[in-house]
Amino acid sequence: MGGQACVLYGAAEFSRDTDIVTVTDADNLGRLQAAVDELRAESIAVPPFERQFLEAGHAVHFRCRLPGVEGMRLDVMAKIRGLPDFETLWNRRTTLEAADTVIDVLALPDLVTAKKTQRDKDWPMIGRLVEAHYAQHAPTVHDAMIDFWLRELRSPPILIDVAQAAPQACRKLTSVRPLLTLAAAGEEESLARALRAEEDAEREADRRYWAPLKRELEQLRRDRRQQVPDPPAE
């Protein structure tokens, strides 16, 4: 659901970690713990690997020690801002093959939504993901692709091209994405400003989403420090 998924979709990104989203029933978390143990992965930072924290929206972090993957970080989540439950994500996942291994990744629209964070590096990646999809599928376009491009393209020239090539679809989506009226009119400079405002609004929404979770993490860190015994007096 992160950088490795972006690589698999053809939008190259150097990633030092592997992000996964998981269902949180007891059996599945047991299987995940067994996989973590096989990787000789140690829990790092906070929170601990417990169901309550995953279901609250936290990410749980591990560092792998198994030779061959030593140093690789594994980040596990169960909830992603703006996305539905795991079952829905699983039902619309994309299954890819890499090095004779089958890998299930978030569907591209879901991955784009997951990347709408406050981090600077994620927004160029969204642009690359959607533009790579457009370049690959433009010759065989169908309605679902047009809908996706109109909702998510971040390049003013390409968005204008799509909006003007599909005016009916564009009009239908203006209530969802008002800046499409600028795209339909070919107003590139105004569209660029509107795209930036849209990005700023998403960044702020992500900050608000994480604010209470960060406060919980700070409390967990304070509690952990208080539990560490003082060194023996000499």
Q: What would the pLDDT profile of 133-183 be if each residue is shown by its tens digit?
A: 999 888 888 899 999 999 999 999 999 999 999 999 999 999 999 999 999
12 vs 29: CA distance, rounded Å: 30
What's the helix, strand, coil split of the chain in %, to 5? 55, 10, 35
Find the mean pLDDT for residues 20-44.
94
Q: What would the pLDDT profile of 185-208 be if each residue is shown by its tens digit?
A: 999 999 999 999 999 999 999 999
Q: What would the pLDDT profile of 32-41 be if each residue is shown by its tens digit?
A: 999 999 999 9
End-to-end CA, the chain: 50
Alpha-helix residue ranges (DSSP H) falling in 18-175: 26-38, 51-56, 86-91, 108-114, 122-137, 143-152, 156-165, 167-173
For residue 89, pLDDT over 90 is answered with yes
34 within 8 A of 193, measured Cβ to Cβ? no
pLDDT at 22: 94
Starting at the edge strand found earlier in the chain, the sheet holding 60-63 runs 17-21, 73-77, 60-63, 42-44
160 vs 184: CA distance, rounded Å: 6
The residues spanned by each domain of the chain are 3-107, 115-229
Handedness of CA 157, 9, 73, 69 (dihedral sign): negative
How high does pLDDT run on average in the chain? 91
Q: Measure the CA dihedral 41/46/52/55, to 10°.
A: -90
Helix axes 143-152, 156-165, angle to 10 degrees: 140
170 vs 158: CA distance, rounded Å: 13
For residue 212, pLDDT over 60 is answered with yes
For residue 230, pLDDT over 70 is answered with no
96 vs 185: CA distance, rounded Å: 38
H/E stretch holding 206 reads helix 188-227
DSSP 201: H
204 within 8 A of 165, measured Cβ to Cβ? no
